[in-house]
Amino acid sequence: MSEPKIFKIDNLGYEASESDNVFNFLLADAGIAYQRTPPSTENIIDNIRDGIPKLAIDTVLAKTSISRTQLSNILHISTRQLNRYEKNERLSPEQSNFLYEFTRIYTRGLDILGDAATIDAWLARPNMALGDVSPIELLDTGEGARMVNDLLSNIEYGFYS
C-alpha cells in the first residue's frame, strides 16, 4: 500500500484541498492558475457553474488513457461536438460537473493506487464489486460516480474490491 498523500501547504497557509488537486490537475498544464482563498464548496460550485475551460479536456486526454469517445460519453456530448469546441470556450455547467467528478475520482485513484498506469487499468477493467462493469462505464451518472468513489474508499481502507 502506498503512503498517504502529503498535501502541500500553499503560500496562504492552508492545506491543498481535494478540489485544489482536481483543478490543478485540469488546469495547471494549460498555464491557468487555480488558487482559492480559503478553499470552500462555494468556490468549487462557482467554478463548475462558470464552466471549466475546454483546455481541461485536452489535459485529461493527455494525462490519462481515457479515449475521446469515453470522455464524450461521460460528458454527455458527441465526439463531433466535443471537437468543435474552441480552445478558449468553456464547457456547460453539466459538462463541467461531469469532468470535475471524473477528475476527482481519477486524482483520488492516483493517490490510492499509486500511479497513472494502475488507475488507468483499474478504470478499464470490469469489477465484480460493480456488477462486472468497468468503473469508467459508470462515470456518466452521479450515482455511478458515487459507486466508483465508494469502491475506491474500500480499496483505500483495505476492504475487498
**Which pLDDT tens digit goes with each residue over 33-48?**
444 444 455 677 888 8
Q: What is the pLDDT of residue 9?
A: 33
Which pTM was predicted?
0.78
Q: In the numeric block, which cell numbers belong to residue 130?
A: 460493480
CA quadruple 59, 97, 31, 119: dihedral, nearest 10: -40
Contact assessment for residue 47 and residue 53, using Cβ atoms and an 8 Å cutoff: no
Q: Cα–Cα distance between 51 and 57 in angstroms, integer?
A: 12
> What's residue 160's pLDDT?
63
Q: Which of 18, 19, 26, 37 is closest to 91 using CA atoms? A: 26
pLDDT in tens, the chain (161 residues): 444 333 333 434 444 566 667 777 777 665 554 444 444 556 778 888 888 888 889 889 999 999 999 999 999 999 998 888 887 789 999 999 999 999 999 999 988 988 899 999 999 999 999 999 999 999 999 999 999 999 999 998 887 65
Looking at residue 15, what DSSP letter applies? B
**pLDDT score of 30:** 55
